[in-house]
Structure 1
Amino acid sequence: MAKSFLRAAFDNIVDARQRRADLYATGALLSLDDKSLAALGLTRDELRRRPSMTSII
């Protein structure tokens, strides 16, 4: 069964908000020092490979 127009629009809005939240969280994590990142099980290089906040707009 095909999605209704409103359901598709809602899903697109949710996806866009999730991507924006991921970008914000990555930026916040990059502001931490290497010791704090290691405690979270992350590396700076891993975070840098994630999408950045650049936009064409």
Structure 2
Amino acid sequence: MGHNPAKRGFFRSALDAMVAAREQQAKRYVANALLALDDDTLKASGYSRAELKRTGGVSYLF
């Protein structure tokens, strides 16, 4: 009995959505943490303040 990868179950879809949401939350968290650094440190690490703000440097709703 083979699985059809195109047809996913409800729980698998829900898990995938939850994982994607947590990944986005982690990206926002890291961007906000990096925004606390000074511009020279960000530049030395290969980041720019504008890029981090665009990536997700926003305040949390909760």
With the shorter chain as reference, the TM-score category is 0.7 to 0.9
CA distance in 1, matches of 2:14, 2:59: 23
TM-score by length of 1: 0.83
State the Cα distance separating 1:54 from its structure 2 match: 5.0
Residue 17 of structure 1 corresponds to: 22
Matched to 1:33, the amino acid is D
Query: Once superposed, which parts of structure 1, at least 4 consecutive aligned residues long, lie more than 6 Å away?
Result: none
Match of 2:3 in 1: none
Aligned residues: 56
Could you list the runs of 5+ residues in structure 2 that have no partner in the other structure? 1-5
Aligned residues: CA RMSD: 1.5
Identity of aligned residues (%): 39
From the CA coordinates, give the structure whose radius of gyration is larger.
2
Residues 1-57 of structure 1: matches in 2 within 5 Å? 1-51=6-56, 52-53=58-59, 55=61
